[in-house]
């Protein structure tokens, strides 16, 4: 095997760090993973620096084991590679490139005042999870680390720096650090000037442009693996330095690449710990608190509906049912249990039979909640069956996303020609796909590689840098060289499924005060 004809994608997801190695035909040939979980520390959702570093090494070691088993040779080099991570958040560095605070993830909903003030100042929606919202909230809070700030980055940017020494981000990830002027494309100059004027009275020894990462579109070289970076990635010393890196991206950008959703009027829904829809738009939109304007990895404007909560509550209930199975001596793997329970949901009443679930482990921007409490409720005459129970949780996982998407399609008249699903929610064939189709009322396609998700998309972006033709746009590369013969399934929910979701959503919105009361009382 000639490993110089491969591309590697590494992604820091919310529950797994995963590596996917593809060959020159863009087919996954090896993978590695490491499971981890965020922690709520002093009111902040975070991952420790040690967990970040050791998790990366454990994932890469697992990839090396897979390669050795499949090809009988050690993995010492690849043709190109790239790093992606959970989007945005806050990771400030000092002059010695050491983090000044804990990594504050996308899940935090503690930047409400900053996000609201910046949205009004810029006339541009600034979500709470964006890096600039975190920075300005830290300023409003008077946090002591700010005078020592020299660089602001994200998890993907931090790991990229550790491996290459380069302080840069892919433009898609950068668009969640600070707004992008897609016409240029670069950070929006007028907004930078407005921010600097806003914080000038604080007298910090830096201006915003001084601390923002450089941005690069997909296809450009963003550095090479240094000797120190190679040892950081692989402490055994087997993996060699010099590998070229593509720009680091967030999981939103890698999801677009993995589903061939980077062209205008295409879209994808990523559904895992969080869920989000990305629609590449062809006209300017109004300012909506529920809609984020970001970019594709190539810099095209994208309307994004992001929801903090998706499958975490489902996972908690599956763990409970797995414990029950063990109690009665039933031998079933967690994977098989997920499959059986997801399939059971198809047998439930279309409107879930009067069962209601709110999957809010954390706050939710779309419904304007700064905290969350998972809640399961039912009417006294509800049909309390396992099928309805599972269906309620599956529909709840999409309910907030549907609220945001309705703004795009009904108020902003955004057309969607193609919609692809990917992520753990779609692993059981036909189930998550049917539920999403019922939610959006249109066909949903899932590719064979949907389960690979973000790390596969990151590997494709590394391959694009390595194998693209001169001047070939990313959308053409994906269409012509990656997905031309890709296998996918397309499914349209029936009218009863669509009507049932609408009934469930109407009750969900009417019952939101129950969730608010739970936050106040629990």
Nearest to 88 by CA among 20, 10, 169: 169
Q: Taking residues 42-46, report their average pLDDT.
A: 92
Q: Which of 77-86, 179-188, 419-428 has the highest mean pLDDT?
A: 77-86
Residue 232 CA to residue 154 CA, distance in Å, equals 18
Nearest to 467 by CA among 83, 21, 6: 6
Alpha-carbon dihedral 181, 187, 191, 192, rounded to 10 degrees = -160
* Residue 391 pLDDT: 98
* Residue 423 pLDDT: 82
* Residue 496 pLDDT: 97
* Single pTM value for the model: 0.84
Alpha-carbon dihedral 109, 112, 116, 117, rounded to 10 degrees = -130
Helices (H), ranges, 85-226 = 112-122, 131-141, 155-164, 171-174, 189-199, 208-211
Least confident of 30-44, 87-101, 443-457: 443-457
DSSP 178: S
The pLDDT tens digits for 361-399 are 989 989 989 899 999 999 999 999 999 999 999 999 999
The pLDDT tens digits for 253-300 are 998 999 898 988 888 998 888 888 999 998 778 899 889 999 999 999
Q: Taking residues 114-142, report their average pLDDT.
A: 96
- How far is the CA of 493 from the CAs of 84, 398, 402, in angstroms? 33, 15, 15
Q: Do 214 and 208 contact (CB within 8 A), yes or no?
A: no
Q: Taking residues 232-238, report their average pLDDT.
A: 98
Let me know the angle formed at the C-alpha of 27 by 21 and 33, rounded to the nearest 5 degrees. Answer: 35
* Residue 284 pLDDT: 78
Nearest to 489 by CA among 423, 420, 393: 420
Q: Do 277 and 338 contact (CB within 8 A), yes or no?
A: no
The fraction of the chain above a pLDDT of 90, given in percent, is 82
Strand partners, 292: 304
The burial of 511, by beta-carbon neighbours within 10 Å (0-12 exposed, 13-18 middle, 19 or more buried), is given as: middle
Residue 173: band (very low, low, confident or very high) from pLDDT cuts 50, 70, 90: very high
Q: Taking residues 35-42, report their average pLDDT.
A: 92
Nearest to 415 by CA among 287, 259, 263: 263
What are the structure tokens assigned to 170, written together? Answer: 């892919």
Q: Taking residues 151-162, report their average pLDDT.
A: 98
One DSSP character per residue, 196-210 reads HHHHGGG--S--HHH
What are the structure tokens assigned to 207, written together? Answer: 């201006």
The burial of 28, by beta-carbon neighbours within 10 Å (0-12 exposed, 13-18 middle, 19 or more buried), is given as: middle
Residue 302 CA to residue 250 CA, distance in Å, equals 14
* Residue 451 pLDDT: 58
Let me know the angle formed at the C-alpha of 161 by 464 and 181, rounded to the nearest 5 degrees. Answer: 60
Residue 177 CA to residue 146 CA, distance in Å, equals 17
- How far is the CA of 224 from the CAs of 204, 220, 227, 268, in angstroms? 33, 12, 10, 31
Q: Map residue 359 onto helix, strand or coil.
A: coil
Which domains, from first to last, does the chain contain?
Answer: 251-309+404-491 (3.30.420.40), 312-399+495-521 (no CATH)
Reply yes or no on whether the pLDDT at 58 is more than 80.
yes
């Amino acid at each position: 095997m000639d490993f110089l004809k491969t591309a590697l994608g590494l992604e820091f997801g919310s529950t797994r760090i995963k590596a996917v190695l593809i060959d020159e035909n863009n087919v996954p040939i090896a993978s590695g993973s490491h499971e981890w979980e965020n922690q709520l520390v002093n009111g902040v959702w975070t991952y420790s620096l040690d967990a970040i570093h050791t998790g990366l090494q454990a994932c890469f070691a697992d990839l090396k084991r897979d390669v050795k088993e499949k090809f009988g040779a050690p993995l010492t080099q690849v043709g190109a590679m790239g790093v992606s991570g959970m989007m945005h958040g806050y990771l400030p560095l000092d002059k010695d490139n050491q983090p000044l605070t804990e990594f504050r993830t996308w899940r935090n909903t503690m930047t409400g005042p900053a996000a609201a003030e910046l949205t009004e100042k810029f006339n541009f929606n600034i979500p709470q999870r964006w890096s600039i919202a975190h920075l300005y909230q830290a300023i409003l809070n008077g946090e002591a680390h700010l005078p020592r700030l020299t660089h602001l980055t994200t998890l993907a940017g931090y790991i990229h720096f550790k491996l290459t020494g380069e302080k840069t981000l892919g433009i898609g990830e950068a668009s969640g650090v600070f707004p992008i002027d897609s016409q240029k494309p670069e950070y929006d100059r007028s907004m930078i000037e407005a921010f600097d004027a806003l914080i000038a009275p604080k007298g910090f020894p830096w201006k915003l442009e001084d601390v923002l990462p450089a941005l690069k579109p997909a296809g450009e070289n963003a550095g090479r693996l240094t000797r120190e970076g190679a040892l950081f990635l692989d402490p055994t010393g087997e993996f060699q330095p010099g590998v070229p890196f593509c720009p680091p991206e967030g999981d939103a950008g890698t999801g677009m690449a993995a589903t061939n959703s980077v062209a205008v009027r295409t879209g994808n829904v990523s559904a895992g710990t969080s869920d989000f829809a990305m629609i590449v738009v062809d006209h300017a939109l109004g300012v909506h608190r529920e809609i984020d304007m970001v970019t594709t990895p190539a810099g095209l404007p994208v309307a994004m509906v992001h929801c903090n909560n998706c499958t975490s509550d489902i996972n908690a209930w599956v763990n409970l049912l797995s414990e029950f199975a063990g109690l009665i001596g039933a031998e079933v793997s967690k994977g098989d249990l997920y499959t059986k329970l997801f399939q059971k949901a198809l047998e439930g009443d279309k409107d879930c039979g009067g069962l209601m679930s709110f999957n809010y482990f954390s706050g939710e921007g779309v419904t304007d909640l700064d905290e969350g409490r998972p809640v399961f409720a039912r009417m006294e005459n509800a049909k309390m069956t396992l099928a309805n129970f599972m269906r309620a949780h599956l529909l709840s996982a999409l309910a907030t996303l549907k609220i945001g998407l309705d703004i795009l399609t009904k108020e902003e008249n955004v057309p969607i020609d193609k919609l692809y699903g990917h992520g753990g929610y779609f692993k059981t064939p036909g189930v998550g796909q049917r539920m999403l189709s019922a939610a959006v009322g249109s066909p949903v396609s899932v590719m064979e590689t949907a389960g690979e998700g973000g790390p596969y998309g990151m590997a494709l972006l590394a391959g694009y840098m390595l194998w693209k033709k001169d001047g070939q746009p990313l959308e053409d590369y994906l269409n012509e060289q990656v997905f031309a013969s890709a296998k996918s399934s397309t499914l349209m929910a029936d009218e009863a499924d669509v009507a049932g979701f609408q009934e469930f959503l109407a009750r969900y919105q009417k019952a939101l005060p129950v969730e608010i009361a739970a936050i106040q009382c629990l």
